[in-house]
Amino acid sequence: MNVLLVHAHPEPTSLNGALRDFSVARLQQAGHTVQVSDLYAMRWKAPLDADDHVGRDPAAPFHASLDSRQAYANGRQSADIAAEQDKLRWADAVILQFPLWWFSMPAILKGWVDRVYAYGFAYGVGEHSDRHWGDRYGEGAMSGKRAMLVVTTGGWASHYGPRGINGPIDDLLFPIQHGILFYPGFDVLPPHVIYRTSRVDASTYPAVLDALGRRLDGLATDAVLPYRRQNGGDYAIPALELRAGLADGETGMGVHLAP
Ligand code: FAD
């Protein structure tokens, strides 16, 4: 497979830096071709702004979505955005690797999503009708591709358990897994989370690599999360609520996983 690893950590000698190097080597040993977008090393520009639409009318108000649509349709996107979109088209699988910062991804990675996920590329695609609400949540440009998060945390696994004070990790990662990955069509693997990283040292590091290595070995074959497809009949359109008879009496993010 072609694998794109998007890496967001400012320090090459960090744990995340070491895990990135391990992942690249492991994937290559398995016969995959790997590209890395090392966002800090690339000095990735995080804020989405008018400079992303090359040659736009400077007198017109900047509109984040509409300028994105025009730039994408007319080949006037900033070159760094177009290059990342090419990598996504090339990839069969995408890994987003990052430390959990304030219960989410580092801002530089969020800025990668904001800018690379252009209107007409990652959203605003497909038929809109009373049967089909755009190609999203299981359909779209990333259909047929796999995606997986590799996340490190300071908090312990129990802090992120079903009754942990930080909230369940699946809920915290839902906006990324469901909103950023499943939305444009990726098949999403369960995340690989490395907890309590302050305890990682030379004695525990081999087990960390072993666990990550097994997940990388399953990148092409492991079962993906059974998110319900938006246009697959489980949701009433246009309300986009689960239909009666499905997960009745249940609420929360888990209802979007098919049993
Ligand atoms: P590092 O600090 O580089 O390393 C972690 C440990 O691994 C160190 O003990 C180091 O010696 C060891 N190590 C590194 N490389 C190796 C190697 N090659 N071999 C053996 N040992 C090694 N945590 C949460 O749980 N929730 C949050 O919301 C959260 N928010 C944060 C917000 C910010 C702004 C910051 C800075 C941190 C936050 N944290 C949070 C903690 C953060 O998630 C962890 O610090 C991070 O995941 C650790 O990853 P790292 O790559 O920076 O590790």
Q: What is the CA(107)–ligand 1 centre distance, in A?
A: 16
**Is the link from the previous residue into 238 a cis peptide, with omega within 30 of 0?**
yes
Residue at 247 is within a domain: no
Number of domains making up the chain: 1
State the average pLDDT over residues 17-36.
98
Mean pLDDT, rounded, of the chain: 97
The distance of Cα 67 from the centroid of its chain, to the nearest Å, equals 23
CA-nearest of 130, 121, 137 to 65 is 121
Quick one: pLDDT at residue 240? 96
pTM for the full predicted model: 0.98
For the chain, the first-to-last Cα distance in angstroms comes to 29
Element (H, E) at 6: strand 2-7
User: What are the tens digits of pLDDT across the range 78-89?
Assistant: 999 999 999 999
pLDDT-based confidence at residue 3 (cuts at 50, 70, 90): very high
The reply to whether 254 falls in a domain is no
Beta bridge mates, 241? 236
Ligand 1, closest atom to CA 202?
20
Residue length of the chain: 259
Q: CA 170, CA 25: separation in Å to the nearest integer? A: 28
pLDDT of 128 reads 86
Mean pLDDT of 100-108: 98
Centre of ligand 1 to C-alpha 245, Å, is: 44
* Average pLDDT value for residue range 144-166: 98
The beta-strand segments (E) located in 57-216 are: 93-99, 146-152, 187-188, 192-194
Work out the pLDDT band at 131, boundaries 50, 70, 90: confident
In a mutational test of the pocket of ligand 1, which residue from 13, 153, 173 has the highest number of ligand atoms less than 8 Å from its CB? 153
Q: Which atom of ligand 1 is nearest to the CA of 99?
A: 47
In the reported structure, the alpha carbon of residue 100 is separated from the centroid of ligand 1 by a whole-number distance in angstroms of: 9
- Is 235 part of a structural domain of the chain? no
> 65 and 119 in contact (C-beta within 8 Å)?
yes
Within a domain: 250: no
- What number does the ligand 1 atom closest to the CA of 102 have? 28
Assigned domain for 242 exists: no
Q: Find the CATH number of the domain harbouring 24.
A: 3.40.50.360
- pLDDT for res 130: 82
Question: Strand 146-152 and strand 187-188: pairing?
Answer: parallel
Q: Is residue 256's pLDDT more than 90?
A: yes
Q: Rounded to whole angstroms, how far apart are CA atoms 119 and 121?
A: 5
Residue type, 242: L
Share of the chain above pLDDT 70, in %: 100
Residue type for 114, please? Answer: D
Q: How many A from CA of 152 to the centre of ligand 1? A: 7
Per the structure, the complete domain to which residue 188 belongs is given by 2-224
State residue 129's pLDDT score: 86
Q: Is the CB of 251 under 6 A from ligand 1?
A: no
Label residue 157 by pLDDT band (50, 70, 90): very high
Q: Is residue 179 part of a domain?
A: yes
pLDDT tens digits for 196-252? Answer: 999 999 999 999 999 999 999 999 999 999 999 999 999 999 999 999 999 999 999
Q: Are residues 6 and 37 in contact, defined by beta-carbon separation less than 8 angstroms? A: yes
The number of beta carbons lying within 10 Å of the beta carbon of residue 206 is: 9
Q: Does 255 fall in a domain?
A: no
CA of 198 to the centre of ligand 1 (A): 6
The 10s digit of each residue's pLDDT in 46-67 is 999 999 999 999 999 999 999 9
- The pLDDT of residue 218 is 98
Choose the weakest-confidence range: 125-129, 170-174, 206-210, 237-241: 125-129
Q: What per-residue string of b and e applies to 68-107 under the rule 16 or more CB within 10 Å gives b? A: bbbbbeeeebeebbbebbebbeebebbbbbbbbbeeebbe
3 — phi, psi (to 5°)?
Answer: -120, 125
**Measuring from atom 45 of ligand 1, which residue has the nearest CA?**
154
